[in-house]
Amino acid sequence: MWFWLIVIVGLLSAVRQLIARIVLKEAADGLAYGFVQQALAVVLAIPLLFFNWQIPKTILPFVLLILVGVWDTLVCYLINESYRLLAISLRTIIYQSRIIWVVFLGFIFLDETLDWQKLVGVMFIFFGIALVSFQKEKMSRFKQLILRLRDKNKTDKERGVVLTLSAAFLTAFEIIAIRYLLDFFSAAVLILGIAGVSTFIFALIIPGLKKKVFQLPRLTFLNGILGAIGFFLFSLASAVTEISRTLPIAQSFTILTVIFGIIFLKEREWVWQKILGGILAVIGVILVKGS
């Protein structure tokens, strides 16, 4: 059952990535965009509480829940800014590094398995996504960007690389914390707590919030709804199996974002390698699922 929940999560994630790039590359306000995503998650989580309710009897998990909410605000901002500053094909390669971080962090902090089959599967998924996203010109620029990360006078693309690397690393720790909290909270309570704290922080720090929210494209609100549904299903699946299994499988569907780009954004170059990358990712999913 968990596998099919993750398949749905992966499909929703692919659509959300495409929408995020479409909206944020047009210089939409990243903070207001984040507020809408989190606020919609709160609204959608409330009715779920009636049949998905569980809270701990001790105070420590609540403290950690609030801290994760604060952490999530920062992660949300970094992700949105990376979408705005960096081409999605290049961003995809960098951001998938969180898969590797989650596998090792899950082994260290959650005592999850770390066998050869899972490692090989994760690498298949990672290289499949990298192959799908690879273009000689972009990778050449990527090397130049990496070499210039210490330069204080960075271009937008260079700042996008820094933000994406930071978001990938911080997201991995957040995912591990979420898996830990799922032993104390139900998925609905977890979403309400994390998104609620993040919504409150965004509301405090964004000047002219109401005006900025109404200036956002309607796709922003659709993306928020899809994000809340995806987070809920991901939490349900991760509560019953290892998160170092669920995340790689969900992220393998990132390749669909590239396919959507081919269809909807007319990005029709390098089709053969995108097909091969998809095959590698599917092999990786099979290995991770069976590990």
Tell me the backbone φ, ψ of residue 27, rounded to 5 degrees: 65, 30
Task: Of 6-15, 16-25, 57-66, 204-213, give the lowest mean pLDDT range.
Answer: 16-25
Q: Which residue stretches of the chain are H helix?
A: 2-24, 30-48, 60-85, 88-95, 97-109, 116-133, 136-147, 156-181, 187-205, 209-214, 219-238, 243-252, 254-264, 271-290
pLDDT > 80? residue 169: yes
Q: How many structural domains comprise the chain?
A: 1
Answer for the pair 99, 122: CB distance below 8 angstroms, yes or no. Answer: yes
What confidence score (pLDDT) does residue 17 get?
A: 82
Confidence of residue 187 (pLDDT cuts 50, 70, 90): very high
Residue predicted with more confidence, 219 or 158: 219
What confidence score (pLDDT) does residue 41 get?
A: 95
Report helix angle 243-252 to 2-24, nearest 10: 50
Residue predicted with more confidence, 88 or 50: 50
Q: Where do we find the tokens 């604060």?
A: 70
Q: Range of 92's domain?
A: 2-290
pTM of the model: 0.81
Answer for the pair 68, 178: CB distance below 8 angstroms, yes or no. Answer: yes
Answer for the pair 54, 189: CB distance below 8 angstroms, yes or no. Answer: yes
Angstrom distance (rounded) from CA 227 to CA 23: 15
Confidence of residue 226 (pLDDT cuts 50, 70, 90): very high
Q: Which two tokens stand for residue 261?
A: 């780009």
Tell me the backbone φ, ψ of residue 184, rounded to 5 degrees: -115, -35
Cα angle 202, 69, 253; round to 5: 95
Angstrom distance (rounded) from CA 252 to CA 280: 9
Q: Which two tokens stand for residue 171?
A: 């997201």
